[in-house]
Structure 1
Amino acid sequence: MNYEKIKSILLTVLVALSIFLTWNLWTYQPEYDVIESTETFDVSIGEERKELELIQPYKVFYHDDEQIMGSPNETEIDKVLEQMSSWRLTDAKDISSQYSQSEIEELVHSPGRIELVFPDSLPLSVYNKVIKFDEENLPRTTFNRIIFDLNAKKGDKGMVYFVLYGEEDRKYVVESKVDEEKMDSMQTMFVQRALYNENFRNYFAFKANSRKTLLLPVKDEEYYSYKYSTELLEAEDFMKALFKNPINVSKNSTESEEIYRDSSSLMKVNTNVNSLSFVNPGVDPDRNISEDLLVQNSIGFVNEHGGWTDRFKLFSVSPEESKIEYRMFLMNFPVFSDTAGTTEITQIWGMDTIHKYERPYFRIGDNYTMFSKPNKIHIPSGYTVQQALEENKMINMEFVEDIALGYKLTRDMNFPDMLLYDLTPSWYYKYSGNWLRLPLEELEGV
């Protein structure tokens, strides 16, 4: 065998070996140990809620021939909504052009009407998730009243109206129909309770301004004030729920504040009043957001971290500010406070994401723990409230939008080591979009 032949064989072997080694290198898969993270940020702070639980009226009235009976009692309101939830409304159509403002007032307040009152206007399309309509494309309107006309019938159908009432520059009336037997069942169930059940009181109507007639109780009442021991929630849970990557969040503390931040978001926790504020500074409020999208986004956002920690109801919708508010309710009444973020969940939305989120991080809960015995408080009649407002020279009645009984929540700092809150019943009035307290001491001399 000559030298050239040996060299050729050796070269062939080396090439084959090279191909074999290259193939093994390309196809080699080492067996790595799987590293599992033991830390999870799937946080559920309270509960999730459905639209029916959050989007509710807060007053119900029955207009009789001789009297008006009304109640803020949630049990009575729920009975109406429960019956209505089994209905299927048909032939929904916008008939706003057929009504003047005075005719809308007559539609709302005439005898033979059941009136459900909402705290603010709502898009009809959102309420389609609460009750059933036959139509897929509902009129693009808003409403703040549902009116059941117990007298008007068209054929074998009863009439239900969704009305925007008392607004300065808007008026809407959407007419819909329901089977006559459904309306008759509502009338049989509701009217007797309204006339004879102790949850209902006698109300009177007074013309508050050129746009709206308000209903207030005829008699004064005794209500209780309470002192509750409440549960403080963990601010760290909100941090884990709200920040995209909690492991990158830094924390600084002062005597009255805890500050959490990452490269794009900031959360401030006020440890004095137990409220928190989360903000994305780089996200601008979406001034063009629709009311229905604002409602849908806000409910979904809080549901994502189970953020419904007490009884909250949708209380204010302001698409021009891209802002929405859910207010705490206790024993049938809205709860107010002088400090923002302690009795309401407020959101401001940007384009598809949250801009600002304010809320309490304590929970009163369903099982109220009373720290002391409740005290009776004398609440003046609606006549006294009417007189006090009309005689106050600082109040222009044209800007009075609503009046309601509520609780004032105040932290009791006599026991700084305990989370105690006083809840005191009082009259409140909505003035140019803001709810203000009418101090009882000012009413004593009226």
Structure 2
Amino acid sequence: MKYIEPVKSVVLFLLVMLSVVLTFLIWTYTPDYKYIEKTELEEILIKPQKDMEDVIRPYKAIFRSDEEFKGTVSNAAMKDIMKVFKGWNVLDLVPVNNNLSANYVNQIIGTNNRMTIFFTGEIPFSAFNTIFQFTDKELPETTFNRMIIDWSNYNSKDLMIYYISGNNQSLFRSHVSVPNMNQFIQEVIEPAKKYGTFKEIERESQTSLYVDNNKTESVKFTYYIEEISPELFKNVLFTDPNIVRRNIESASSEKYTDGMSLMTLDTNLKSLNYVYPAAESGIRIEPSKLLKDSFEFINEHGGFTADFRYASTSTNKNQMDYQLYLQGLPVYSNHVITRMTTIWGDSRIFHYKRPYFSLDMDIEAEKEIKELPSGVNIAERLKNANNIALADIDEIVLGYYLTQNQELNIFTFEPCWFVIRNGSWIKLTPEVLGGVKNGLE
């Protein structure tokens, strides 16, 4: 018993010392970070990414020389034109008119030694930052949909460019220094001499239409299609794909949701519709930022799964649209969706609607040459049509009408004439124009 107290003291001392040692070790412990590996999120790319100039491309170019118009809608020509623009130095950018008359626009386009390139949608100047070299660091927050290049003084290596906005009725002008003027003449101006003749369709108190004066040959294509797995889009669009629930609503409808956002599939239209309600915003976004945000959002996941081109903007809705093209011509359909739409919200995407198919390969044996009437012929027939007034339309375009065979999983692209009116397309059938078919279908 006499040893109990000394033993207690020794044990207590040892416990105190052990506590001190453990506390010291905890305070001075440094973990070996070299064994901790950082886990990176896997980047999902549905298709290869694209550059802005792949998405912003003109659909038509006309050239005025020797008192006549030449023109083309060739995909190769549009690529060459945009390639030649690369690196041009824009020395100034001056507003000229913010209340353009239609007659003034027609006069500018109709002056000799000028070419006009047409864009479907209104282009913010900042979107050309990767193409032109602007001297002005602060570009105006405005847009244009026609660019007119005056090459009268090309010997001085100086060109004049006019930018016209159809929506804003505004005109800007700039002087441009061209590093390689010979390239511009040889690759843009000289080839235009071999283009077909275009005719100006004048309309009272309106801008003119410019259409091909010759019959057109185009190829009817048939493609196998590849459905893009909705799982890829689920992994891209939802913050945590693991908690997303899938519901098959019907034979043609599926829904994916995580409780905050919703993705709906229409298997008939081959369309995907995503919405994140919490991001809805009524704050208007400037066109330059809207285009940048929309393009980057789609491009980050490789969402330009075919030749999609910027088509239109609705700044009131913060909406951007991209149209499917094939062989340089727009594709329209009542059977499947051929347009991508983004609506930007509060610092992120609010609404995203798009097709979830891509073109696999064309069936060579199904190719067929189609001859269509000239654009001039179409314009003349529109003058006499009862249900479409020539004065009411924005453009006459050659394009493809898309139909599908669901059983064989193939698409057929039929070349046709269309009119564009208030952002919507109308297929020009004999019934629409009246009279005999005359090669329209």
Q: 1:93 to 1:154 in 2, by over 3 A?
A: farther
Residue from 189, 192, 197 that aligns with 1:191: 189
Note closer, same or farther for the CA distance 1:6–1:37 as it changes in structure 2 (3 Å cut). Answer: closer
2:372 aligned with 1:406, yes or no? no
Contact 1:226-1:422 within 8 A present in 2 as well: yes
Q: Counterpart of 2:55?
A: 54
Distance 2:404 2:62 in 1: 34
User: Which sections of structure 2, spanning at least 5 residues, go unmatched?
Assistant: 437-441
- Give the unaligned 5+ runs of structure 1: none
Q: Is the contact made by 1:153 and 1:159 (CA closer than 8 Å) also made in structure 2?
A: no
- The residue that corresponds to 2:285 in the other structure is 289
How far is the alpha carbon of 1:445 from its aligned partner?
2.4
Q: 1:206-225 alignment to 2 at 5 Å?
A: 206-208=201-203, 210-225=205-220
Deviations 1:164-203 (A, max 9, x none): 24x4xx222221112377456523443321112xxx2211
What does 1:57-96 align with in structure 2 at a 5 Å threshold?
Answer: 57-96=58-97
Task: Name the SS for the 1:364 alignment partner.
Answer: strand
Q: 2:299 aligns with which of 299, 303, 308?
A: 303
**Cα distance in 2, alignment partners of residues 13 and 425 from structure 1:** 94
CA deviation string 1:109-163 (max 9, x = no partner): 2221111110111111222222211221123321111111122579763212222
How far apart are the structure 2 equivalents of 1:247 and 1:35? 25
Residue 278, structure 1, aligned to residue 271, structure 2: no
Counterpart amino acid of 1:229? Y
Which whole-Å CA distance do the structure 1 matches of 2:346 and 2:201 have between them? 43
Cα gap change, 1:180 to 1:343, in 2 (>3 Å) = closer
1:87-236 correspondence runs (5 A): 87-96=88-97, 100-151=101-152, 157-165=158-166, 167=167, 170-179=168-177, 182-183=180-181, 185-196=183-194, 200-208=195-203, 210-236=205-231
Question: Structure 1 38/84 Cα, relative in aligned 2: closer, same or farther at 3 Å?
Answer: closer
SS at match of 2:107: helix
**Structure 1 residues 183, 412: closer, same or farther in 2, change over 3 A?**
same
Local SS of the residue matching 1:130? coil
User: 1:161–1:248: structure 2 CA closer, same or farther, 3 Å change rule?
Assistant: same
The Cα of 1:220 is off from its aligned counterpart by: 2.1
Other-structure match for 2:238: 243
1:359 matched to which residue of 2? 354
In structure 2, give the amino acid aligned to 1:324.
M
Aligned CA RMSD, in angstroms, stands at 3.2
1:286–1:349: 8 Å Cα contact kept in structure 2? no
2:340 is aligned to: 345
Deviation at 1:301, TM superposition (A): 0.6
Question: Displacement of 1:324 after TM fit?
Answer: 0.7
Instruction: Give the drift of 1:105.
Output: 2.5
Of 356, 370, 384, the match for 1:391: 384
Q: Are 2:93 and 2:172, in contact at CA under 8 Å, matched by a contact in 1?
A: yes
TM-score calculated relative to the size of structure 2: 0.88
* 8 A contact 1:226–1:372 mirrored in 2: no
Bigger shift: 295-304 or 431-440? 431-440
CA contact (8 A) 2:243 2:258 kept: yes
Could you say if the C-alpha distance between residues 15 and 374 of structure 1 is closer, same or farther in structure 2, counting changes exceeding 3 Å?
Answer: closer
SS of 2:138's equivalent in the other structure is coil
Deviations 1:324-355 (A, max 9, x none): 11111111101111156x21111111121111
Separation in 2, partners of 1:237, 1:180: 44
How many corresponding residue pairs? 431
Q: Deviation of residue 207 (structure 1)? A: 2.1
Give the drift of 1:282.
2.2
1:73 to partner: Cα distance: 0.7
Q: Could you say which residue in structure 2 is the equivalent of 1:438?
A: 428
Alpha carbons of 1:326 and 1:156: their partners in 2 closer, same or farther (altered >3 Å)?
Answer: closer
TM-score (norm 1): 0.87
1:436/1:443 CA distance change after superposition, 3 Å = closer
- 1:62 and 1:68 in contact (8 A); partners too: yes
Q: Which residue of 2 aligns with 1:261?
A: 257
Deviations 1:8-44 (A, max 9, x none): 955655544554455567778999xx99999965321
**Change over 3 Å in CA distance of 1:21–1:219 after alignment to 2:** closer
8 Å CA contact retained: 1:158, 1:183: no
CA distance in 1, matches of 2:38, 2:20: 40
- 1:433 deviates by 2.0
Q: Is the 8 A contact 1:144 1:164 kept in 2?
A: yes
